[in-house]
Structure 1
């Protein structure tokens, strides 16, 4: 069935902004914060931190050995090896911190939403190709109802967040709670 795009454009561009209307924004931000995957530090982060702790303990023992009269040449070699091992673990931690997504706080989400400004105006003024890409990435699904001249619109905001898989075989994967926005849009008369 053919549906004129200009009859759907305005209601479709206005719909996502309804979730950010003044009377709904607090609920939407709370839902967005709750729909994020839980912060689970990667196992390698825990391992790297354990290596750093172990290296620090070794360095203390080496200092004590030097104070007790151990051969400085031997202890110096141990220290160099341990410091290199510690440096590798610190580098790994920094890499993990840079590359691991983290949950945004409600305050951070609020700041982001506020910075976006009027979402309806931004969508209306967007380049059509950019707008189409936004809707595609949101997984927008439209279902036309000709008898009522309406369109059921739905996006699944949780579809792109993935599933957190635990490293222990006995622990089931953790799926973040769904966050779906849906509405019935009345088509504009053209």
Structure 2
């Protein structure tokens, strides 16, 4: 962690910043811990070429039905089976001595973690786990427990804040206990038996703001009128009219009729929202965003990203 922060602080471009053509999906403004780990575990970064890191195994598609044949599966070989060149083939990023020291350290950690772990229940359950988001960086806040107090924290290293040009405190902290009573009161008011239907109606009304409403009366001929046309065209064909001309009329009318059927079968967004059941709306996820400057928590229900009231809580950064 300290190495990634140090590289970011020293303004050394990270891998995604060096090769933007292949990393357009990444921000490229700071070093990540995963990038450091990849560099310290891949022998190629020592300046040497490596072969036989993987092998291709042929495995049965279905062990109960061998007639289905085999498929190729790529699997990693053990590190002692890798073949590494003795000579350098490019400029190294990691010294060979440092690289071997890192492998020894990781191997030691792996051995200590091979003992079977017994399933255990967390000693500190968190009521709002995965629901609290930081109002500064919009990242999910981590649940922590200290001295018998549950709280939620967003830790943002200063180096990352400078690289991303975000005015973010090093730690944003909110205690869990200060949110429980205000949120319980708010939920009881909005979704209680007396206000539940009113809240659901308001959700649907807000979700349909700005959406196109279905036309009150369809433009053009109806399917019944087009069916009457087809009947007349067939009668004209039986009476001796030019088959080529009548066939064109029939094809054009049938295409228009099919277009009307397709248009009527596509539900509008308003129809989809109006068909939501009470249970579906109640089951919609809740998102809580803590604003450290105002010490408020903004509760949102994700139905078209609608804002709700801010709940005042005590707390600080």
Q: What is the TM-score normalised by the length of structure 2? A: 0.33
Structure with greater helix percent:
1
**Higher gyration radius (CA):** 2
Structure with greater strand percent:
2
Tell me which of the two structures has the higher relative contact order, counting C-alpha pairs closer than 8 angstroms and 6 or more residues apart. Answer: 1
